[in-house]
Amino acid sequence: MNDYGAIVGTATYTPSTLPPGQSPPANQPVAGSHGVFLAPILVVQSNYPTTQGVEDLGPTTTQNIIGPGGNGIAYITGAPAMPQLTAQIGGFSSSGMTVDWRLHMTSERPERGTKDDIDIPASSGDGASGGETGENPVGGPGVVDNEPINTPWTIDYPPTPFEFDGGTVTLYFTIKNAAGTALGPEQSVTFKIRGKNPTPSAAYNYIQEEPQGGPLGNLYYAWGIAKHESAQDPNTYCQFNANSPAEEPNYGYPDGWGIFQRDDGGITTPTEGSIYVTTDQVYSWQVNSDVCVQQELAEEWNEANNYLGKQQSRHPTQFAANPPPPYTVSGKTFAPIDVLTMERYNGAGKFYRLLQFSASTGTWTWNLPNAPRDTEPYINRVAERMTSSP
């Protein structure tokens, strides 16, 4: 064993005597003396959150993920930020040896299928830092090749929509001698990337700063939706599970993800028209919020706005005299456009069933159904969450 903990030596290989008629395997080593190494691998997160529990209060430290003291779990912080990871082989500090690195990530949530699978580097040549030699010549997962063995490999994540990702990580490495010859077959280690949640006040403040999300914005209740949708009481604003399986993405049947339970109805490609739930939305509470507030809720508010405007033009006298009434619950009074937007988000029904016009009285009345598996309309539950902030 050398000073870095690597076991280095030689071993003699002697093929076993095969029974008559049986052929040796095609990849059988050559008989004789071979180099042997058993090198320690270290995976380190430099922004490891130190807060216990699923909420992240912010402080970070440097922590082994694989190696002494490591438990095999790296974390997306509550900021949120992806884990800043390096990988290094120990034991060959100035030998001229090199390492080829690659990484594969796949979700721990089977419901996501392969949507979150990534390879780093993504393809042959992508992100390679050591020249062209040794890259995968046929495409598919790439290889960061010929990294000096005494230099940590810094794992660079791909751009959006995979800027945030997590799950089971398999880190592959091939150690090569100074002449560039692999000293053995490719080896691998696995670890997890899971996530910490923001504090409720951090999530509340961020959503309030979304366009239209503030107290005077058209979508001022967005924070109440997030709080209700992602609550795993007593925890709220859960991008990642507070309950079992803890720290994995917060999933709700059939296809709800993260802080707003973003849901695209199970579509399989972004081209199908609905607002697709990308990997970023599953692993970043901020991206999840951005898409929900700026796209989904904005679109539904505009639809409600169109509908109410149409009612005004269709029944101008009645609209002026007795406009659609506000809706009050849990001490909160919501304008008709707020009610229609929230109920449409939940999918409660067509607008004209929710807000019914009586030609005989010239008035509109609310007819809100209970939310699924509930004894109250959806908006009532959001209003309950809004009685206390964050």
Partner 1 sequence: MKIALYLIGLTLISLQCALAQSIKDPIKDPIKDYLASSDDDKDSAMPYFKTLLVLKCDVDNSGKPSILISFNGYGGRQGNFWTAYLPSGNGYIKADDGHVDLTFRRDTFFVGSVGSKYGLLAYAAGKGGGDLNFFQFINGQITEQKIGSLDLSKPQDKQEFENYFGTPPNWKSLKNYPARVLNVHDLKGAGYDPEGAIQRANVANHPLKTPIPNDTNKPGQ
What part of residues 302-361 is at the interface with partner 1 (CB under 8 A)? 302-314, 337, 343-353
Which of 233, 290, 226, 295 has its CA nearest to residue 258? 226
Q: Does 272 bind partner 1 (CB under 8 A)?
A: yes
**In the block, which residue shows the tokens 């509930």?**
374
Distance in angstroms (rounded) separating the CA atoms of residues 187 and 89: 12
Closer of 98 and 288 to partner 1 (Cβ): 288
Task: Give the binding range for partner 1 (CB under 8 A) out of 94-102, 138-146, 200-208, 373-381.
Answer: 373-381
Handedness of CA 336, 338, 339, 341 (dihedral sign): positive
Q: Which of residues 219-238 bind partner 1 (CB under 8 A)?
A: 219, 228-229
- Sites for partner 1 among residues 118-177 (CB under 8 A): 160-161
Burial 244-271 (b: 16+ CB within 10 A, else e): eeebbbbbeeebbbbbbbbbbeeeeeee
Segment interacting with partner 1 (CB under 8 A) among 34-42, 61-69, 83-91, 300-308: 300-308
Binding of partner 1 at residue 365 (CB under 8 A)?
no
Q: Is the peptide bond before 141 cis (omega within 30 degrees of 0)?
A: no
Q: Which stretch binds partner 1 (CB under 8 A): 42-50, 56-64, 192-200, 263-271?
A: 263-271
Binding segment (CB under 8 A) for partner 1, from list 66-74, 149-157, 180-188, 212-220:
212-220
Report in angstroms the alpha-carbon separations of 158 from 119, 163, 229, 261. Answer: 9, 5, 29, 24
Tokens, residue 352: 């004209």
- Name the token pair of 139: 């495409």
Candidate ranges 37-45, 49-57, 201-209, 295-303; the one touching partner 1 (CB under 8 A):
295-303
Residue among 44 and 308 whose Cβ is closer to partner 1: 308
Q: Which is nearer to partner 1, 132 or 374 (CB)?
A: 374
Amino acid at 223: W
- The nearest distance, CB 349 to partner 1, in angstroms, is 5
CA 365 remoteness from chain centre: 41
Residue number with CB closer to partner 1 (2 or 312): 312
Q: Which residues lie across from 172 on neighbouring strands?
A: 102, 188
Check binding of 193 to partner 1 (CB under 8 A): no
How near is the Cβ of 85 to partner 1 at its closest, in Å?
23
Question: Is residue 327 within 8 Å of 339, Cβ to Cβ?
Answer: yes
- Least Cβ distance, residue 262 to partner 1 (angstroms): 9
To partner 1, the closest distance from the beta carbon of 133 in angstroms equals 37
Q: By C-beta, is 88 or 218 nearer to partner 1?
A: 218
Write phi, then psi, for 59 (nearest 5 degrees): -65, 140
Min CB(363)–partner 1 separation in Å: 17
- What is the C-alpha end-to-end distance of the chain, expressed in Å? 56
Cis peptide before 215 (omega within 30 of 0): no
Smallest gap from Cβ 117 to partner 1, in A, equals: 13
291 lies in the site for partner 1, by CB under 8 A: yes
